[in-house]
Amino acid sequence: MRRAKTQQRLSRRQLLGGAAAAGASLPVLSEVLPRRQLPGAIAQQPTPTAHDVAAGAHGSGSAMHDGFAGTVDLGANGFDPSEIVRDFDYGKTRRLASGRTLREWDLVAIDQEIEIAPGVMFPAWTYNGRIPGPTLRCREGELLRINFANSSAHPHTVHFHGIHRALMDGVPGLGEGSGGGVVGPGERFSYEFEAEPFGLHHYHCHVMPLAEHIAKGLYGELIIDPRQGRAEADELVMVMNGFDTNFDLANEIYAVNTIAFHYVDRPIRVKRDQLVRIYLLNILEYDQINSFHIHANFFDYFPTGTRLEPAEFTDTIVQGQGQRGILELRFPYTGKFMFHAHKTEFAELGWLGFFEVVD
């Protein structure tokens, strides 16, 4: 049974003001204030700088998020970012009479409260009960069918980035007479299109107000592998997102794969010298850009993944909302290596983690 929690609506200023300087320690919020009171009383603590955050990286990691005491109940959420990071949904396939492969998935829109940081609840809209939604994976040229059922109390769609007919675009006003367009509560629609072009794409709800439907959690990645495939690698899914916890059209929590600081407490383990491939998507609403920075390393970057040659070799990339790309790198040394948004405020509010490199 889901444990009872009181939703905290936190402002960005209160969260930054409540964060401790690296190496310091904050008391548990519930021991300082009543549960329904905002944590402004702990705003006397100094705000950590980017240098403070980086300096704390070589300790236990707790100094980087002392403002969030406790742990997130991943079981109650129903999903775990440590599993999402390597979870690819290949759907079900069957061979058509023409010899072509049909690949098929079921997507369900569900209203669900989730915990995005310890004690911070968010009234989310989800695909299949998780944020991000399933990472759908297929091969170039296959016929794709996504059976969408709307179990939410709100109208929704699924809009896929790629090439397809207008009826399959998941846009209000296009196809309601044929079952497409807006899909109301209790209704269903099947999207069907060819997998093209190869690369990293994504899907999201396209009902107005569009920003709200995306910001509430209705999005996921769509990976179309090239016909010839890619080199074998340890493959990772990273969706850069954020949450407006007090509904003022500004984010208070930032993350990769939804849970603030998750990969600080549970680093992503990779092997030394093994090729690591990251499918990186920025789906952040209410902020113009997001970024990814890796410490002590560089990576090849393939924008959108639609070409097989990298566009640059770097340690930091910037993406606008909806932009995505594939990163490939190897770690020559063992140890813990930080990754985070290079917008330092985002890192201080949850978008920060570690790779743990082992032999």
pLDDT over 90 percentage in the chain: 79
CA proximity to 63, closest of 5, 20, 7, 15: 20
Contact call for residues 324 and 201 (beta carbons, < 8 A): yes
Q: pTM surpassing 0.75?
A: yes
Rounded to an integer, the average pLDDT of 175-201 is 94
Check whether 290 has a pLDDT greater than 50: yes
**CB 318, CB 232: distance < 8 Å:** no
First to last CA, the chain: 40
Two tokens, residue 241? 């997102």
Q: Is the dihedral of CA 281, 284, 285, 289 positive or negative?
A: negative
Q: What is the DSSP letter of 178?
A: G
- State the pLDDT at residue 15: 63
Give me the percent of the chain exceeding a pLDDT of 70: 81
Greatest CA separation for the chain: 69
Instruction: Render the burial of 54-70: b for 16+ CB within 10 Å, e for the rest.
Output: bbbbeeebbbbbbbbbe
How high does pLDDT run on average in the chain?
A: 87
Would you state the pLDDT for residue 16?
60
Among the residues of the chain, which ranges form H helices?
Answer: 12-18, 29-32, 50-55, 74-77, 81-84, 210-215, 262-265, 344-348
- State residue 43's pLDDT score: 33
Q: Which amino acid is at 88?
A: F
Say what the pLDDT of residue 10 is: 60
Cα 4 to its chain centre, rounded Å, is 25
For residue 303, give every residue at least 6 positions away whose Cβ sits within 8 Å of its Cβ, in sequence order, or none: 311, 323, 325
pLDDT in tens, 291-334: 999 999 999 999 999 999 999 999 999 999 999 999 999 999 99
All structural domains of the chain:
13-69 (no CATH), 75-225 (2.60.40.420), 234-358 (2.60.40.420)
Q: Which residues of 186-200 are buried (b: 16+ CB within 10 A; e: fewer)?
A: eeebebebebeebbb
**In this structure, what DSSP letter does residue 21 have?**
P
Contacts of 34 (CB under 8 A, 6+ apart): none
Residue 34 pLDDT more than 60? no
For the chain, state the CA radius of gyration. 21
DSSP H or E run through 327: strand 324-329
Please give the pLDDT value at position 310. 98
Query: Token pair 């930054």 is at which residue?
Result: 16
**Tens digit of pLDDT for each residue in 47-91?**
333 333 333 433 334 556 665 778 999 999 999 999 999 999 999
Q: How far is CA 64 from CA 39, 51, 306, 344, in A?
A: 17, 11, 36, 12
Going by pLDDT thresholds of 50, 70 and 90, the confidence category of residue 214 is very high
**Residue 142 carries which DSSP code?**
-
SS (H, E, C) 181-215: CCECCCCEEEEEEECCCCEEEEEECCCCCHHHHHH
